[in-house]
Amino acid sequence: NAGVTQTPKFQVLKTGQSMTLQCAQDMNHEYMSWYRQDPGMGLRLIHYSVGAGITDQGEVPNGYNVSRSTTEDFPLRLLSAAPSQTSVYFCASSYSTGGAYGYTFGSGTRLTVV
Amino acid sequence: EDQVTQSPEALRLQEGESSSLNCSYTVSGLRGLFWYRQDPGKGPEFLFTLYSAGEEKEKERLKATLTKKESFLHITAPKPEDSATYLCAVQVAGTALIFGKGTTLSVSS
């Protein structure tokens, strides 16, 4: 049981490049979400999904795109990377949007945009 | 606007010196309050969920309590391995979790 797997762990992009951060979970969780964590800002929600084919925006969605074609996978796409998107990105999943068991987080992707 | 504020930002304790971390919240319609532990370079790890005022949860040296305006994470006789950042989050109806900025705890032997 691997939990939530994020790839890559580290990435350096040039301004304007695009890329996809991968997130996969093997717990059959319906709810998945993406957060970014910046120093002094805490975790902020980017996008989330309550099931395959259903996605919605969080607090800071601009510059990011998501889709959910399967229960297991929830990739995050950066359309045209900007230095302001330098951050640590976490994917999380859960049986529901809150729940008694909380969220299971991946180990994160550290992204630097130069 | 829904807000979660954690204090202090940082806390240094000696091994065995008990203390408490605070999480105050201003939200409309609290569905649940969550505590997480985060070690450097890792994702947050779920600790507790609290749903209603007066509720308490315990796990080893940690005890979480909830009132109508705040939650406390009490750490009894901490050990160096308890050093981490502790995150508080709230769930409001119809949204995902809203996180505080965290309290970084350092326990020295």
Yes or no, beta carbons of B49 and A43 under 8 Å apart: no
> CB of B82 within 8 A of CB of B60?
no
CB-nearest to B34 from A33, A42, A102 is A102
Which amino acid, B108?
S
DSSP characters for B40-51? TTS--EEEEEE-
pLDDT at B49 > cutoff 70: yes
Banded pLDDT at A99 (limits 50, 70, 90) = low
Yes or no, beta carbons of B43 and A108 under 8 Å apart: yes
DSSP letter assigned to residue A70: S
pLDDT at A87 > cutoff 70: yes
How far CA A46 is from CA of A56, B18, B96, B102, in Å, comes to 9, 36, 10, 19
Yes or no, beta carbons of B96 and A42 under 8 Å apart: no
Contacts with B40 (C-beta within 8 Å, 6 or more apart), sequence order? none
Total CB pairs under 8 A between chain A and B:
58
Per-residue confidence (pLDDT) for residue A42, from 0 to 100? 87
pLDDT tens figures, B3-21:
899 999 999 999 999 999 9
Yes or no, beta carbons of B96 and A97 under 8 Å apart: yes
Q: Which residues in A lie closer than 8 A to residue B47 (C-beta atoms)?
A: 102
pLDDT tens figures, A31-82:
999 999 998 888 999 999 999 999 999 999 999 999 999 999 999 999 999 9
